[in-house]
Every structure is written in structure tokens, then in C-alpha cells.
Amino acid sequence: MAYVYLIASYLPPSQAVTTWTAAVGLYAVLVLAFFVPRHVLAEVGAVVGIVGVVLIPNFGAPLSVKAPLAGVLAALLMVSVARFGLPDQIGKPLAFLAGFFIYALVSALSYGAMQSVQSLTLQIATVFPIAAFLLQLDGRRLERLLWTVCWIGVIEAVWAVANALEVLPLPWGILGKELGAEGQVHNLIEQLTVRGSGSLAHPLACGWFLAFCVVLLGKLSGRSRVLRSIFAVLYIAGIVFTGTRSALIIVTLTCVAILIISWRNIAIPAKIAAVFVPVALALVSAISFESLILEPLGLYGVDNTASYYQRADSADAFFALLNAPVSLLVFGGNPDQLSTRPEFYYLAQNGIFAIDNQWVSALAKTGVIGLVLLLMFISGVFRRSRSRFPCALFLVGSTLAFSPLDWNIGVVMWVILALPQVPQREPGKNTAASPSVVSDSEASNVVAGGIGKESAAGVI
């Protein structure tokens, strides 16, 4: 019962019924974890983790929700390890990710940056449980779980549209935290005064989660093309009503990638479009980037960080860091005082008070050491995964998008789902009884991030 009191301490005291209902429910999940089979525990933990990786790393949801969820994930992982042990094939990528988080946490503690310590602790409590649980799922269960993610995406898309149309309110006011006007400007639809956020507390988080679902649809089989098309339309509509332009970039890249990969199997009109549309867009961008591209997107003349001009300035900060003292360049600096560093004064003069480019942020916070660990992690995922196209798309998109929320949804969630080395089912063999763990020799025959008929041919 001590855990119930711990959960209750994080929730608003004025809501006794909600507090105790949530606390007892989470406590019941932990109790059941001692009795259910391994694959059931892994699926429940993975679903909770996928919900958590959307909410916990982002600054929109209240701590009263994030802290209990992270606590449940950590507790479920401890129960799983106590009963079944860790999966044999953890792999070097997860070790590099662990190294990055540990180094970032030690660095933040040494500077007394408690805000960053809290954020990193919540991220660690989310990332490692979900990675461990996904490693325990066989191909059939992994695909079923990822379809669950797609259904969650449908709910979020409908909810986001309802938010933007002001039919349904944002949920976090119910839990004791009112959201301000931050992030509610620069809507794609000028007539709307609210950007949809679903249950994700911020339009950027919601938009990128829906973009992730679009990419995920291309990796999964087992459902009709009509259903997948309906899902895709709902996701794109949700992205539009969140006003997340960077998420639309990812969707566009995904469509172009699918056309390229499926070149031999598509009709001639689609081939013509695949060749000439990108060329036409490039020419239009080169001839009149401001009037024909920025103005329709609502970006021309915008005097804040939504402007791509200022986003470019933020990216230029990477080169400014090269002039920092060697110790800061190698080991990093205080993450809670990033915007006040001398190297970034010129950004403040241009009205930029946050370093939104996450490569710049990683270099400034953890130095070359942290950046190398992060790059080794991503490189390890690429080498081990056959889902390289989604990996590349989200890597490019996250670099273009800059926002911390985009980074968490577009990269953290992507690498987690790409990380597990899941063996494909052999014909005539029933894998439902007990999920197996792949060995090093089988690494070339596994699929990360999704299982489907198309995956053997490398089609997303």
C-alpha cells in the first residue's frame, strides 16, 4: 500500500476519488505482474511504455501524470527481471544509449541542474522498460502491439481535430494543470484559434506522434489497404489540425520514399508525379521561396522561433559552440543555463531565447562525449535494423524540425521501436507458447520496428 500513497502524493489532493482510483488501478497492475505469463507482462509493459514515451519526455503533461507512469514502468521492469531475467540480446545500441543517459545524468548532477535531472530520470524510467519489454515479444505479438499504437493514433487524431474545432477541451485542466497559450499560434488553418493536441498536451507532440503512425502503417500488414488508407487520412487530418509543419515534412518524405521503393509496382501517372513534383517544388522554392512557400505556410515575416529564418540561426549555433572553451566543448555545460551561455548571445539579440536544434543542445549539454555516444547508438540501430528507411526519415525530419518535442517523438520513439531484434516466425511453427530471443547469428534475419509480409522485401 506504500506505493498507493506514493502515487497519491503526485496527484492533485482536491481530487481524492481520481487519485485513489488511479493509484489502486496502478497497484493492481503491479500485483498482476507477479502472476501473468511473460508475454502478457511484456505486452502490458510495452503498451504502458509507448504511452509513457509520448507523455513523459515532453513538458506539456503535468508531473502528476508523468511521475506515477514512470514509477509503474520501472516497477514492472523490476518484476519482470526478478521473474524472468533480462533478455539475452540487449545489444550494444542499448548499451550506448545507457551510456549517454548516465553521462548526461551525472553531468547534470555535477552542475546541480535539478530540472534536467528530473527530466532525465523520467526518460530513463521510460526508455529502458519499453526496450526490455519489446525485446521479449515475438513477431506476431509485436505486430499486434504496433497495431494498438495505430489505433491509439486514430483516437489522438480525432481528439486533435475536436480540440481545434473547440468541441472537446484539452484534458490536462481536468488533472489540475491549465495549459497556457504557448504553442497555440501559427495554425495551418488561419480561421482556427486553437491547435489540436489530443491527450498529448502540446500540438508538436501530437503532430509528430501522428506522423510516426503514418510511417508505422507502411511497415505493418494484417489489415486491408482500405483500413490503412482510412487511418492515414485520419492521421494527416489530425496533423493539419495540430498545425505541425515538421510532421507534414515527414509524411511527405515517407510518401516519396514509398514511391521510390515501390517503383516497379506503381502506375505510370504515379511515376510521372514522383519525378516531376519534387523537381517542380525545388524550382518553385529556388525562384520565389518567400512569396510562394513561406507566405502560404504562414512563416514569412514571423518574428519568433516558428520562422525558419530563426530556426536556421539556431542551427548556426552549432558552429558558435566550436569557439567555446575546450572543457565545455568536450564535457558539456550546465543544461539548465543553456540559453545564457556567451556563445548564444547573438541568438538573444535576434529574439531567440531557446536552442531548439537538438544536435546543438546535445553538444552544449553533454559535449563531444555525449554526442559521440548518441551517434554510436543511432549507428548501432541502423546496423542492426532492417527498418532503415523509417530510421533515416525520422533522423532527417528531427534534424529539420528542431523542436525538443519533435526530437522526443520523432527520434526517441523511433529508435525504441527499431531497437528490438525480433525473430520472424518460421512457417509451420507456433511461436505463441513462448517468445524466443534472437541470437547473434540470427541478427541478419530479424525485423525491428514492425513485422509484415512486405518486410522481407524491404518495403515500408
Say whether 447 sits in a helix, a strand or coil.
strand
* pLDDT of 274: 64
Distance, in Å, from the CA atom of 78 to the CA atom of 72, rounded to the nearest integer, reads 10
Number of domains in the chain: 1
Distance, in Å, from the CA atom of 40 to the CA atom of 346, rounded to the nearest integer, reads 53
The answer to whether residue 439 is domain-embedded is: yes
- Beta partners for 447? 422
218-234 confidence digits (pLDDT tens): 667 667 778 888 998 89
* pLDDT of 418: 59
The answer to whether residue 285 is domain-embedded is: no
- Output the tens digit of pLDDT for each of the chain's 460 residues: 565 565 556 555 665 666 677 677 777 878 888 888 888 888 888 877 776 666 555 555 566 667 777 778 888 888 888 888 776 655 677 788 788 888 988 998 988 888 788 777 777 777 777 777 877 777 778 788 888 888 888 998 999 898 888 887 766 544 444 444 555 556 667 677 778 888 776 787 788 788 878 877 866 766 777 888 899 889 988 988 888 777 777 677 767 766 676 677 767 776 676 666 656 554 544 444 444 455 555 544 444 334 455 555 666 677 778 878 888 889 988 887 777 787 777 667 766 666 666 777 788 888 899 889 888 877 777 776 666 665 666 666 556 554 555 555 555 555 555 554 433 343 344 433 333 333 333 333 333 333 333 332 222 2
Mode of pairing for the β-strands spanning 446-447 and 422-423? antiparallel
Q: Please count the residues of the chain.
A: 460
- DSSP state, 303? -
Tell me if 19 sits within 8 A of 174, measured CB to CB: no
The beta strands (E) that lie in 96-217 are given as none
Residue-wise DSSP of 221-268: -SS-HHHHHHHHHHHHHHHHHHT-HHHHHHHHHHHHHHHHHTGGGS-H
The answer to whether residue 266 is domain-embedded is: no
- Tally: H helices and E strands in the chain: 19, 2
* pLDDT of 154: 93
Cell numbers describing residue 211? 506522423
- Beta partners for 446? 423
The answer to whether residue 286 is domain-embedded is: no
The answer to whether residue 21 is domain-embedded is: no
Distance, in Å, from the CA atom of 326 to the CA atom of 225, rounded to the nearest integer, reads 55
The answer to whether residue 12 is domain-embedded is: no
Tell me if 196 sits within 8 A of 159, measured CB to CB: yes
The answer to whether residue 300 is domain-embedded is: no
Q: In angstroms, how far is the first alpha carbon of the chain from the final one?
A: 46
The answer to whether residue 92 is domain-embedded is: yes
> Alpha-carbon torsion 38, 381, 106, 354, what sign?
negative
Domain that holds residue 141: 33-261+305-457
* pLDDT of 177: 47
